[in-house]
Structure 1
Amino acid sequence: MALRWYTTVIDSHDIAAQARWWAETLDFRIVYEDAHEVAVIPKHMSEDVIEDGATWMRQAQGLVFVPVPEGKTIKNRLHIDLAPHTSQDRDAEIAALLERGATLADVGQDDDVTWTVLADPEGNEFCVLSSRDR
């Protein structure tokens, strides 16, 4: 029996700002928000009850942002990879992320890698991969 990967939880200082930044980045929407967490899911994903287990297992993952008092001190052990479609301008997508508050990050990658490492506004690393069509 398998379990569904339901969500990824991201520790944050400003959960509302982080959730909104990632929701815009991924074209997600906020589905829950209070002082203790903010949850975002893909816009196409339904919030309706799904009775069928197989259908429920095929649902996409969400992100949940929770408050923590401490700051980030080391490289993430887990990170998100984003990929543009081959019809998208990868450099323009990276520029848009930088304009919205992402920063270039060095986690020890070589100069000739096919991905770009960035950090979100609170310093969490993520990668923008080469363009793909699958």
Structure 2
Amino acid sequence: MSCRFSELVVDCADPVELSRFWCAVLDYVELSRETADDGIEIGPPSGFGGAAPTLVFSRTAEPKAGKLRMHIDVNPVDRDQDAELARLLSLGARPAEIGQTGEEAWHTLQDPEGNEFCLLHSRLPELAGD
């Protein structure tokens, strides 16, 4: 018996703004809301339980402190890394400096609330059914 990675919960100040950003990044849709804007779950159009995990944005008043101990890595699926970097920056991502050497094959970015994530180099196929 084993487990599957099904959801990632992200504490944030503004679930609405962060869910919009990540929906655009991942081509996800809003799946549910706990209340007006206190908790929003996003995921692939096929919904919860498929091959791709969902993201749950949960409102918190606590500010982000320091570098995240866990972060999201994303890969382009329909364009090269440079074109995807330009798209992510146009959506509101910002470059993040966390001690890179400049020789990395990935780009370290921040979402609108400063959460680090990496854009990797490899182009992946889209998931079937999503």
TM-score for the superposition, normalised by structure 2: 0.86
* Residues 88 and 131 in structure 1, CA contact (< 8 A), matched pair in contact too: no
Q: State the aligned residue count.
A: 123
Alpha-carbon deviations, 1:69-92, whole Å to 9, x = none? 02112001100111114x513212
Matching of residue 84 in structure 1 with residue 76 in structure 2 = yes
Deviation, structure 1 residue 133: 4.4
Alpha-carbon deviations, 1:13-37, whole Å to 9, x = none? 0101101110111000001022331
Q: Which amino acid aligns with 1:12?
A: C
Deviation, structure 1 residue 126: 0.2
Question: For residues 17 and 90 of structure 1, what CA distance do their matches in structure 2 show?
Answer: 25
Report the counterpart of residue 51 of structure 1 in structure 2: none
Report the counterpart of residue 128 of structure 2 in structure 1: none
Question: For residues 132 and 25 of structure 1, what CA distance do their matches in structure 2 show?
Answer: 15
Structure 2 residues not aligned, in runs of 5+ = 126-130
Report the counterpart of residue 41 of structure 1 in structure 2: 43
Residues 84, 3 of structure 1: alpha-carbon distance in 2 compared, 3 angstrom cutoff: same
Report the counterpart of residue 25 of structure 1 in structure 2: 25
Residues 17, 133 of structure 1: alpha-carbon distance in 2 compared, 3 angstrom cutoff: closer
Deviation, structure 1 residue 129: 0.5
Structure 1 residues not aligned, in runs of 5+ = 48-55
* Residues 40 and 62 in structure 1, CA contact (< 8 A), matched pair in contact too: yes
TM-score for the superposition, normalised by structure 1: 0.83
* Residues 96 and 109 in structure 2, CA contact (< 8 A), matched pair in contact too: yes
Report the counterpart of residue 67 of structure 1 in structure 2: 59
Report the counterpart of residue 95 of structure 1 in structure 2: 86
Report the counterpart of residue 123 of structure 1 in structure 2: 114
Q: Secondary structure at the match of 1:2?
A: coil
Residues 131, 123 of structure 1: alpha-carbon distance in 2 compared, 3 angstrom cutoff: same
Moved over 3 A (4+): none
Matching of residue 6 in structure 1 with residue 9 in structure 2 = no
Structure whose CA Rg is larger: 1
